[in-house]
Amino acid sequence: MQSRAAIERQFRRFRFGLFVVWAILLAIIVAWSVRSARERALSEVMQKAGETLSVQTEILSGVLDKYRLLPPLLSRQSSIRALFVRDAEGNAQALDARRIAESTASMSAAMDVAFFFPDGELLANARGSLVDRAEGLPELIEVALQGRLGRAAVANRQGERTYAFSSGVHREGKFVGVVIVYVDFYRVEAAWALSARRIFVTDKTGTVFLANDAAWRLKNIADLRETAESDRYLIDGRFERRLDLVRGLPLLEWDLHVLADPAPVAAARLSAASIATLVGLLAGMIALVVLRRNEEAIIKARTDRATALRLERVVRDRTRALSITNQSLSQEVEVRREAEERLRKTQNELVQTAKLAALGQMSTALSHEYNQPLAAIRSYSDNALRFLDKGALSEVSGNLARINGLVERMAELSRTLLSFSRKPGASVGPVPLGTIIDEALLLARPRARAAGITDIRVGDGVSGLFVLGGRIRLGQVFVNLVNNAIDALSGQADATVEIDARRQGDRVVVTVIDNGPGVDPAQLPKVFEPFFTTKGVGEGIGIGLSIVDNIIRDFGGTIMVDNRPEGGACFTINLRAAEADVAGRNDHTAPAAEAAI
């Protein structure tokens, strides 16, 4: 058995060893805590400053974007172009120009709105001394003359600062003037003044253009950094300046700065050192308790292991459930894809059904259209026999020529009916608008005459226009629209249907107008909905205009309907335009592809 002294020596050695280990660990923990606290505090300071930088960047960009579009919009207005006209004595419309400038500046909250002639002469402006001294004017006019949006930061010795956007005004292809909008930064700097951080903007020369500190404005940032001693703080035993976060604004050639205060970093380090020391002292006192609770630690380790196994089982079960769910979703996607395919096929069949229904509605009138030529052919042939018996060969030749013309007319009508009744393909190409409308009217006119409507007019603008579409499907559009107008005008004495078209840039706008009763305003939003109709039972199922809308959308166009002030409905179709030379090369192949069964 060891003696008491030996046991005490053992414990003293153990206590000394424990103290050394504790001291080393305490020093490591304190150093690590101080470093971690510094990094966290620095990260938090940088994060908050970065958030301020992002918000102020968006605010500044939003203010400038608000006014960036104003000069181009003003320069394209006819009322603005008319201002740059001098009378015989060389005088301009300065009063009107000033009134417009004041109104625009008031509504947009701009610092100033000014109109200049190409030589730099001021036509009029709303307010502001910057305009009177023509600060930055030459480069703004030069950029506008090149057809680009001019932009420049403008400042003068009186401390007035603004950002100017310019846009050229052209009339009849000539550069006649410049519209300049001056941006007011008062509200931006007022908002920055509420921030505890210093916020400022520098240009490419390093000059502070905007700042929430009035003393910094229009001064060089290098000079300010040398003199701003109040922005220095003691960090890690040395003086450091405020943290400068910068974000570039390339289009403006500006840099937005936010100065972050590093004082919280030093405070966090001191706090971390104090807390780590207290924790180390507590850890030393708890060390003996930890040794005695070794058994509890083992139990805890076993419990943790059991928990880990349970978590593994839960993860495995969740993974299996997710796999089953993914398979179910894949099956559902496939079912929806098949449903979409069936819907597409049904829509195509519905289009063909509507065409056949239109042919059925026109059958009576077309029968009359065929009966008249047949009766005339019979009469001419009987007369030709009688003239032949009498030897009047010239009369026989005239009758045969008339019979040939009637046969050609019937053949043309038959070809149009056959083409219209075929199932259209999905091809889209350049097609002649005038030819398509003529073919549609060839089918619709017999029904119109049967309804007592003879005045169907086609405007001169239709001829020579080409659009992107399918010949048969586009013909169905105009057949449906004309038949719709015939139904609306049935029984009306002075019934008239007008079709006209015009080109607007890369679009062609076609209008189909009638002078009927029009459409109930409450029903206008529902006109192109499937199965919506105002006709009586048995007179229609309400899919014609819905099919027209779908066909026009397939061609990349739009269709709208509205009532005219003088009475009647107006259908407006907007289609993509095609060039005549392209349409000419493709015209002989497009009908065959479109009519493919």
SS (H, E, C) 174-236: EEEEEEEEEECCHHHHHHHCCCCCEEEEEECCCEEEEECCHHHCCCEHHHHHHHCHHHEEEEC
Phi then psi for residue 100, to 5 deg, are -65, -40
- For 377, half-sphere exposure in the C-beta direction (CA atoms, 13 angstrom radius) is 13
Q: How many residues does the structure list for the chain?
A: 597
Tokens 């109040």, residue located: 230
Tell me the two tokens of residue 148: 């680009």
Q: How far is CA 594 from CA 239, 430, 452, 597, in A?
A: 81, 11, 33, 9
CATH of domain 423-594: 3.30.565.10
- Position 559 scores a pLDDT of 93
Residue 562: its pLDDT value, please?
Answer: 92
Per DSSP, 82 falls in state G
Q: Give the pLDDT confidence score for residue 152 in this predicted structure.
A: 81
Q: How far is CA 303 from CA 293, 298, 312, 483, 519, in A?
A: 15, 9, 14, 83, 78
141 vs 152: CA distance, rounded Å: 11
CA distance 546 to 55: 48
- What pLDDT, in 10s, does the model give residues 532-541? 676 654 455 6
pLDDT computed for residue 92 by the predictor = 65
Give the pLDDT score at 192: 80
Tell me the C-alpha distance between 90 and 84, whole Å: 11
Superfamily of domain 69-184: PAS domain (3.30.450.20)
Residues 479, 483: Cα–Cα separation, whole Å: 6
Of 163, 148, 143, 172, whose CA–CA distance to 84 is shortest? 172
How buried is residue 591: exposed, middle or buried, by Cβ count under 10 Å (0-12/13-18/19+)? middle
Written as six digits, the tokens of 124 are 């009029």
Q: What is the Cβ-side half-sphere exposure of residue 266, based on CA atoms within 13 angstroms?
A: 14
Tens digit of pLDDT for each residue in 149-187? 888 888 766 667 888 888 989 888 888 899 989 887 777
Residue 562 is given by DSSP the state E
In the chain, where the domains are located? 69-184, 423-594
Which residues of the chain register pLDDT less than 50? Answer: 1-2, 228-240, 294-295, 298-299, 365, 537-538, 588-597
